[in-house]
Amino acid sequence: MGARHWVGTWACGPQLTEPDNLPPAPGLSGNTLRQVVQGSIGGDRLRVRLSNAYGEAPLTLRSAHLARSASGNAGAIDTATDQVLTFGGAASRVLAPGETAFSDPLDFAVSPLTQLSITIQFGAVPRAVTGHPGSRTTSYLQPGNAVDAAALPNAVTTDHWYCVTGIDVLAGSASAALITLGDSLTDGRGSTTNGNDRWPDNLARRLHANAATRGIAVLNQGIGGNAVLSGGLGPTALERFERDVLEQSGGRWLIVLAGVNDIGMSRDPAIPSQLSAAFHSMIRAAHERGLLAYGVPILPFGGSAYFSPDQERARLAVNDWIRTSHHFDAVIDLDAVLRDPAQPARLLGLYDCGDHLHLSVAGYQRLADSIDLRLFTR
């Protein structure tokens, strides 16, 4: 076994939290937030990444704990596994505006596909909160200090993540991470809250069940409403590419499923060529860091609010570039898998969550099942 290295087991794409998605009362300041995430690969030593990337003032972490989640409601944890996170040996940490930091490495045994609870008591919190609104996972907000509580039955709940952006494990040299970059289709719009059935989750389970790919982590860097070029929610895929893809620990592969929001929100006839150029720049940057880049043709959205004949022509033009330019290291043609054969501009009904743009639970499973796992043995 070669030298061990840090590999991300879980991550999310941070953004400035919009007003409608800010923490509910009583708010973060002075209070305790427990957040649940599901890792992909396991390990016996880990570190947690916390962020004040969009804060305009310091963020005070009075105390932070990590534990394995327990079954049941109210954010229950296995108290036998509860450990304090430290930062430079201290149990508290102040993150300056724009700062992101890892906790000190912690001896903590975690199995693949395990749910972990990160519990933080906050001090002062900036008005501009760094978060990930599309968690599709319930978080628990309790007044005062409850970082080591076995459960939080009186907590206010919210389906968002705040300030936590990643967990790395110390893994063997054969382990590496697959980063999935995209918008709400990757973030999991239409999947089950607390079900962990987004397509990257489903793919992580497949990779773990396959002996040749058991050490491959999956990091979901989808942001709902995200655009590649301009507009949309959160920093654009181009703006966040360095942070959310290239700086992830142990990255080896990249899957890009993006562009539908650029096409749907624009009438600019130059969008296809602009998207192709953006994808090409991503591929070059990935290759410079030793990552293989796999492209996914944009999925059908006929019948949605985005659809028009012009938008469909733009989608087909971008997809033709993805399939035929040979810039991507491989093409994962999920458009061909998920479209209605009788109406190729539309999703097959079984895979449509109902808005003709996002996938159903069955669609996310079909997407993950259609990816050739041999791509991750390269």
In a domain, 365, yes or no: yes
In a domain, 354, yes or no: yes
Do residue 132 and residue 184 come from a single domain? no
Do residue 206 and residue 312 come from a single domain? yes
Please give the DSSP secondary-structure letter assigned to residue 351. G
Do residue 131 and residue 60 come from a single domain? yes
In a domain, 151, yes or no: yes
In a domain, 3, yes or no: no
Q: How far is CA 147 from CA 27, 102, 181, in A?
A: 16, 19, 32
Do residue 199 and residue 90 come from a single domain? no
Q: Which of 136, 167, 198 is the last residue of a domain?
A: 167
In a domain, 6, yes or no: no
Nearest to 94 by CA among 130, 118, 65, 125: 125
Alpha carbons 315 and 16: distance in angstroms, whole number: 29
Residue 342 has phi, psi (to 5 degrees) of: -80, -20
In a domain, 8, yes or no: no
CB contact at 8 A, 371 and 178? no
In a domain, 9, yes or no: no
Tokens 């999956």, residue located: 218
Do residue 202 and residue 262 come from a single domain? yes
The pLDDT value recorded for residue 290 is 98
Do residue 199 and residue 286 come from a single domain? yes
Do residue 181 and residue 161 come from a single domain? no
Do residue 297 and residue 364 come from a single domain? yes
In a domain, 7, yes or no: no
Residue 229 has phi, psi (to 5 degrees) of: -100, -50
Do residue 177 and residue 157 come from a single domain? no
The pLDDT value recorded for residue 2 is 64
As a whole number of Å, the CA-based R_g of the chain is: 20
Alpha carbons 299 and 112: distance in angstroms, whole number: 30
Alpha carbons 27 and 50: distance in angstroms, whole number: 18
Do residue 146 and residue 248 come from a single domain? no
pLDDT, one tens digit for every residue, the chain (378 residues): 468 999 999 999 999 999 999 999 999 999 999 999 999 999 999 999 999 999 999 999 999 999 999 987 889 999 999 999 999 999 999 999 999 999 999 999 999 999 999 999 999 999 999 999 999 999 999 999 999 999 999 999 999 999 999 999 999 999 999 999 999 999 999 999 999 999 999 999 999 999 999 999 999 999 999 999 999 999 999 999 999 999 999 999 999 999 999 999 999 999 999 999 999 999 999 999 999 999 999 999 999 999 999 999 999 999 999 999 999 999 999 999 999 999 999 999 999 999 999 999 999 999 999 999 999 998
Domain of residue 307 covers: 173-377
- H helices of the chain, in order, are 184-187, 199-209, 237-241, 260-264, 271-288, 309-324, 334-338, 361-369
SS (H, E, C) 234-272: CCCHHHHHHHHHHCCCCEEEEEEECCHHHHHCCCCCCHH
Do residue 159 and residue 192 come from a single domain? no
Cα 304 off chain centre by:
24
Our count of domains for the chain comes to: 2
Q: Which of 167, 193, 210 is the last residue of a domain?
A: 167
Q: Which of 151, 167, 183 is the last residue of a domain?
A: 167
Do residue 154 and residue 226 come from a single domain? no
Report the predicted TM-score, pTM, of the whole model to 2 decimal places.
0.97
* CATH number, residue 239: 3.40.50.1110
